[in-house]
Structure 1
Amino acid sequence: MPTKETVANALSQFETIFLGGNYHDENLCTALNIVRNELQEIDKQSNSISSDVKNQLLVVLQSFEINLFRQCLVRIFAEMSSTIVFTFFDTIRFQSMIDLETNPSMSDFYLKISLAWLTNDSTINYLIQQSLPSSNEINIDEQFLNLFCCISARAVFYKTSGSSSLCVSRKMTPTFFESTDGTDRLLRAFITYLNGYFIDDRQHSEGVTLILKWLLNMADIYGYIPYFVKTNYPEAILEWMKKPRDCNDKISLETWFLVINIFYNFARHRIGVKALNKLKALDILKEWKNRYFTELPSTDMMKTFEDTVLAYYLLYVLLLEPKEMKRENISSIENVLDHIIERTVQAFNSSQFNCGLYNVTEYLASLAKLGVNDKFLLYFISKDGILDLFIRKFLEFNHSCTRNDNVESTDLNTLICASLYTMFWSISFQSDYSTKLKENNEFIEFVQKISTNESIDENIVAMKRAAKGILFNLDLIQTDLQPIDDTETDDDHVKAMISYAHKDTKLCQTLVSKLEGRVRGDVWVDFIKLKPPYEDDWEEIACAITQCDVVLMLVTENYCTSKSCRREVIHADKRNKRIIPIYQGKEYQPEDWFEIRVGSATFVRFGDSKSDGKVMETLLNLIHATDKRKRSLNKTTSHETPILTNQQQTIAYIVPNPVLSVSSVLPRTQSISSPMMEDFRPQAMSFEPTSDTTPNQTLPTINRKPIEQWTNAELQNFLQLPPTMLDLSSGQAALTYIRLLTNDDSLIDEYETRMRHRGFSREQFANIITS
């Protein structure tokens, strides 16, 4: 049975004798005979020898051949001028470039040769300077380094340019570069070599640029990013960026362009973002920009400058945590959004869906990240033609994702589609745009179809989650429409539900442990009641909200930027649930959308002037206040009709009275005496007919849908009023508007204290709060 050790020992003996110049030593032939016989045995018994054994022997042989070839060249070139050496290596390099361009299929061949050389001990030792050979030998090693970095970087470029999916795929990691002891040593050795330039101020060499290009092309492949995080590249690059430099020692713009793009690639992966944020990368990035981009460059460098700034913007957005995003104002982010939107349009118009170095999915990822903030979202979707472009591309890529004839682009198409679903989930929260989405039948058809897809593919799961969110926001998904029977519920038994962002899981677990055994009833939280992934179980979460007595909301920056959490808030608010916001820290203030929905609720705040123990007592008192409310309601005699607000009504109450009746949507204790309501009746209105408003002399067609589900068009058809007189976005908005006109205390309170001073009319407020 051939062994790796036998072959390795024979080759080592041959190398020692040969390099010693003893070419006539009989042991040379003996060593080679041993190697030949071992290989011949493998050839005879090929079927009985494992691939692992064969690969191990091949590695030993490759290392021997590389070392022998290197030593031979060192001896040959020792007698030649450096000009001849440079010309020799340049000739091989250009020949390889031409071959790769003419025959891209040769990429794998060139990659294999290059990686074998780069991961060899002689190359690693040169990179980390553990061995100190003669000056001529160093020169040869530098030439080999440059040659194989250049060839392999170009080979990776041709592989990725021929397949965009290779760079973006989350499902498949290419195998031509794998995380092994050899590749880990190479990546760490590259850091040592580059530190000599960035940290130790060694003179710039061609090797620095070629290594950076090699790193950039490798890091452009999504599946390889964890390899770079594992070998401490985030830490290394941040050290390069932090070092102060005087005006005579500045790094060139071309070099920073490569560095910042490598850095950006790391932030494309969740593992990379986590590592970078842990190292406070955003602060270092800002300081770096202030040092290097205070002045415009010369005209010939302007293109590189603009491309570097774009890379900075994309990286900056991906590193933004909710806390930092909240501090950003629209004026400071406008330039970022303008750059990204412009490149997004260009990428969509490209046959390869690229603009510059970046794929359209990378631009969409930045827009989706900023889109969780309402002010940023409204800024870019309000630009001329942008929403229409997104809708067109949404329909186009949904068509592509449902076809299987183009396997190569499936990953890319699916990722683009998933990004657009995420974007439209954010857009669907905005009442000004929800009607347009709702009236696009093809759009709704695709959303409904994907919402029932059972695929476990990561992108499809994300699309399904977003689709359900879109349908919910557009009032096209039905949940818990039947009244809940509480007749057998214990009055002293509280049902509390905890709503939180999954990024705050540890915080929620702490809260649950403190509540344990102290709540007289049941505490519902997804990580106890459901199986992971919890965020995909919207129906169960919605049911828990509907059936609970009180919703505890763990409100943080993460909570307010989570679309799933926003959906839970809306669901709880529409069902008129008692809500207790729980804040962390005395400085924290929630986003506007949350205050509009829940601003009048009584909250508790941990980390304020009161001790956590006192705050917990307050929280428990608020939770148990539900007991008293339930007992009070249960005192109603069996023949009395319960007092319901419009938010608590279900289909069972609305269907028997399909035509809008003010009395049916108000608390029974309130009477309609407002003179404004008398003018609200259609028959009392008088206006001149126009081209788009024709008086209807008959009663409008009865709409059998619950009022909460009426669209703007259905509402206008019933009201028979021109939009200039009253323009409510939905049936839900109409119900809210009536509550305002009839002095619903809780709603009037919120309107007067939070919205009126901002110039919002009752009509606008009703549209906003039900969006």
Structure 2
Amino acid sequence: VSCIARHISLTVGCCWLDGENQPHMKAVFPTEKAVHDHFENLLRILSYEPLYAQIRIKRSNDETVLVGSSLIYFLFIVQMRNMDWLSDLNTTLKNTMVSIIDASINDEVAMCCYGVLCEILTDEESKDLSISDNICNYFLQMLEDIWNKTKKKYEHVPIMMLLKGFQTLSKNDSMQQETAVSNRIHIFIEICDEYPIAYDVIWALSFNKDIQQQLRSDSPFICKLTQLSRQPENEQMSKIIDGILWNLEINHENRSMTDKHNTKEFDIMISYSHKEKVLCKQIYEELIKAGYRVWIDFDQMHGNVMDAMAQAIEQSNTVIMCMSEQYRKSNYCRAEAQYAFQRERKIVPILLQKQYKPDGWLLFIIGQLLYVDFNKYEFSRAMQMLHNELKVELMAETHTAPVRPKEDSVVAHSTTYISPPEVLRSSIVSENILDWTQSQVQDWLLGHNLRQLSRLFAACDGRSLLYLSKYMKNCEPQQILDLLEADSVRRLNESISLIELSSFHSVMHEKKKRLPSMYSSNT
């Protein structure tokens, strides 16, 4: 135990001295697999419950050093935020942290456990966890205590590590409300000059209505923010300041809320976290090939990014939301998504992160909308499904020729102007279903709002569709329903919609009624 404890303590000390760049950690653990294996082995040690009884108030024995150092190491790992494999260990990690908190009498150990939980808990898990009410108040109290210390750390935990933990915690709505109730937003106002990360925490907290009122009542801080917004030296800081002021509805441009039926310059805006930039670029290029007019900020935006974001949303018909954990945790993405929702833009969600389930504010915005999972399907298949969703959203719109945008020196973004998608002005070229191609079948199904069936019947041409209708009419209804249900679950991971199935029967019946001689001669 003594040897392991000191080895881990030395490793943690090197990582701590590295700061943000972490070259020593990269030298010791050059691959993600090495980090994973080491993390898993330490977790196995910390899951050994008899160890908890040996934890002391101070680092006075090997067991306390081992647990304390391992937990600080865990914090380094989870705060790197690029370890997708952590999701596989979340349940074990969460249960272990809770068990240590319940058993420990060491504040440093408890603080590190809370820090790890901040990084791995979803919004819903934060609410359900028995200790969730303590997490926010514990962090706020420790921050207040450390801020008043000369060395700006508690035992072996620096204030910066604590701030990073609360930065993640502040993204959860329940924790925002806890902070509002405790009326401790002043802590972050006091420390933001020395620790600029506090501005990002304030931005996250400012999505809460009660926090907004508390911030507005602090006139000196509002004046300070307004002055900082006029100093463009640090673009990242300017973006954060603009974000806070945007949430407080200060410095807003006058924006009419009656423009939703006006002509738009773009068919689609892509809203995404820059961690998913590579995949989003592929999606963007495919949409451009299909003829859509797309807005996306590959080149980043300069000047007041909030006004630029608002302008982009106002000029777009549909917003594709590229969902991931990083998207949910991004203050900018949240502001973007909420503004699109507020302006009643059509929202098409897509899932880009493996095993991620939308929660918190993101789940509220997408509601019961169907989304395309780019992890479950090959890229070409996922794009076809996305095209199908976009067809439904855009078919009802009246498209006109693109309008040349006004010159805007504030915004620098990648934009392409192309005529609206050809599919939107094409229709079924033949009344004879037997002549229909797969694409024409898709258009016909989507034209009747049969969204699920359009995906299920993606490989059907007109002849296949006609034969399928015949089978559905002549076979046992329950047998057909069971077969379609099994096919839908296998292909789409969804139960078959009886409403769509009934509508399909109805529209096929109407089609046959209009052309009786054609069908009688070919079936």
Q: Which residue of 1 aligns with 2:13?
A: 217
CA positional deviation for 1:423: 2.0
Aligned match for 1:374, one of 163, 173, 185 = 173
Equivalent-residue separation in structure 2 for 1:256 and 1:495 (angstroms): 60
1:239 pairs with 2:27: no
CA distance in 2, matches of 1:537, 1:466: 9
What is the correspondence of 1:10-21 to structure 2 with a 5 Å cutoff?
Answer: none
Whether contact under 8 Å (1:282, 1:316) holds in the other structure is: no
In structure 2, distance between residues paired with 1:484 and 1:265: 52
Question: Shift of the alpha carbon at 1:448?
Answer: 1.4
The amino acid across from 2:152 in the alignment is F
Q: Is the 8 A contact 2:268 2:319 kept in 1?
A: yes
- Between the aligned partners of 2:16 and 2:159, the Cα distance in structure 1 is 14
| Match of residue 26 from structure 2 | 229
Alignment-derived partner of residue 316 in structure 1: 117
In 1, are the aligned partners of 2:260 and 2:344 still within 8 Å (CA)? no
Would you say how many aligned residue pairs link Structure 1 and Structure 2? 385
Tell me how far 1:498 sits from its aligned partner.
0.9
Q: State the 1:237 CA deviation.
A: 5.2
SS in 2 for 1:549: strand
**In structure 1, how many angstroms separate the alpha carbons of the residues matched to 2:274 and 2:343?**
23
Q: Partner amino acid for 1:427?
A: L
CA shift at 1:419, angstroms?
2.8
2:268 corresponds to 1:503: no
Alignment of 1:512-527 (within 5 A): 512-519=284-291, 521-527=292-298
Runs of 5+ consecutive residues of structure 2 not aligned to the other structure: 56-60, 402-523
Distance between the aligned counterparts of 1:328 and 1:427, measured in 2? Answer: 16
Please give the per-residue CA displacement for 1:88-142, whole angstroms capped at 9, x wherever unaligned.
xxxxxxxxxxxxxxxxxxxxxxxxxxxxxxxxxxxxxxxxxxxxxxxxxxxxxxx
CA distance in 2, matches of 1:249, 1:261: 12
1:236 is aligned with what amino acid? H
1:472 counterpart (227, 246, 249): 246
TM normalised by structure 2 equals: 0.60
Please tell me whether the aligned partners of residues 451 and 467 of structure 1 are also in contact (alpha carbons under 8 angstroms): yes
Question: What's the CA shift for 1:268?
Answer: 5.8
Structure with max Cα Rg: 1
- Which residue in 2 is equivalent to 1:356? 155
Q: Is the 8 A contact 2:52 2:100 kept in 1?
A: no
Residues 428, 336 of structure 1: alpha-carbon distance in 2 compared, 3 angstrom cutoff: closer
Q: Matches of 1:511 and 1:354 in 2, distance apart?
A: 45
Q: 1: CA distance between counterparts of 2:178 and 2:62?
A: 34
In the alignment, structure 1 residue 564 sits paired with structure 2 residue 335: no
Q: Does 1:446 align with 2:224?
A: yes
| Change over 3 Å in CA distance of 1:616–1:432 after alignment to 2 | same
2:318 counterpart of 1:550: yes
Alpha-carbon deviation of 1:240? 4.0
Does the 8 Å CA contact 2:5/2:66 hold for their aligned counterparts? no
Q: Which runs of 5+ in 1 are unaligned?
A: 1-196, 198-203, 297-301, 402-412, 632-771
Deviation digits for residues 542-567 of structure 1 (CA, Å, limit 9, x no counterpart): 32222223222223443333211121
How far 1:211 sits from its partner (Å)? 4.8
1:103-502 counterparts in 2 under 5 A?
A: 204=2, 211-223=7-19, 225-232=22-29, 234=35, 235-236=37-38, 238-242=40-44, 253=55, 254-266=61-73, 273-274=80-81, 277-278=84-85, 282-283=90-91, 285-286=93-94, 288-289=96-97, 293=100, 296=103, 303=105, 305-318=106-119, 320=120, 324-332=122-130, 333-383=132-182, 385-387=183-185, 389-390=186-187, 394=189, 396-397=190-191, 401=193, 413=194, 415=195, 418-456=196-234, 461-479=235-253, 481=255, 494-502=266-274
Partner of 2:80: helix, strand, or coil? Answer: helix
Secondary structure in structure 2 of the residue aligned to 1:382: helix
Contact 2:206 2:247 in 1 (8 A): yes
- Is contact 1:604-1:618 (8 Å) kept? no
Q: Distance in 1 between matches of 2:46 and 2:145?
A: 37
- In 1, Cα distance between the equivalents of 2:289 and 2:198? 45
CA gap 1:590/1:308 in 2 versus in 1, 3 angstroms:
closer
CA distance in 2, matches of 1:481, 1:448: 20
Counterpart CA distance in 1 for 2:48 and 2:241 is 53
Q: Distance in 2 between matches of 1:340 and 1:486?
A: 43
Deviations 1:373-399 (A, max 9, x none): 10122123312x423x33xx51x446x
How many Å separate the matches in 2 of 1:295 and 1:593? 30
2:388 aligned to which of 618, 640, 643:
618
Give the superposed CA RMSD: 4.4
Read off the aligned partner of 2:339 and give its amino acid letter: H
Q: After superposition, what is the alpha-carbon deviation per residue over 1:553-592, rounded to whole angstroms, capped at 9, x for unaligned? A: 2234433332111211233344443333345699976445
**Structure 1 pair 231/441, CA: closer, same or farther in 2 (3 Å)?**
same
Partner amino acid, structure 2, of 1:218: C
Task: Give distance in 2, aligned partners of 1:486 and 1:433.
Answer: 30
Deviation at 1:480, TM superposition (A): 7.1
Distance, in Å, in 2 between the alignment partners of 1:248 and 1:571 is 51
SS of the counterpart of 1:220? helix
Write the distance in 1 (CA, Å) between the matches of 2:80 and 2:205: 25
Closer, same or farther in 2 for the Cα pair 1:295/1:614, shift >3 Å?
closer
> 1: CA distance between counterparts of 2:191 and 2:355?
44
Q: Which residue of 2 aligns with 1:756?
A: none
Say whether the 8 Å CA contact 2:123–2:174 is kept in structure 1: no
1:684 match: none
Between the aligned partners of 2:332 and 2:308, the Cα distance in structure 1 is: 13
In the alignment, residue 285 of structure 1 is paired with which amino acid?
A: L
User: What percentage of residue pairs aligned between the two structures are identical?
Assistant: 17
Distance in 1 between residues matched to 2:45 and 2:303, nearest whole Å: 43
> Following superposition of structure 1 onto structure 2, how do residues 508-657 of structure 1 map, counting pairs within 5 Å?
508-519=280-291, 521-527=292-298, 530-531=299-300, 537-583=305-351, 590-591=358-359, 593-594=361-362, 599=367, 603-606=370-373, 612=382, 615-625=385-395, 627-628=397-398
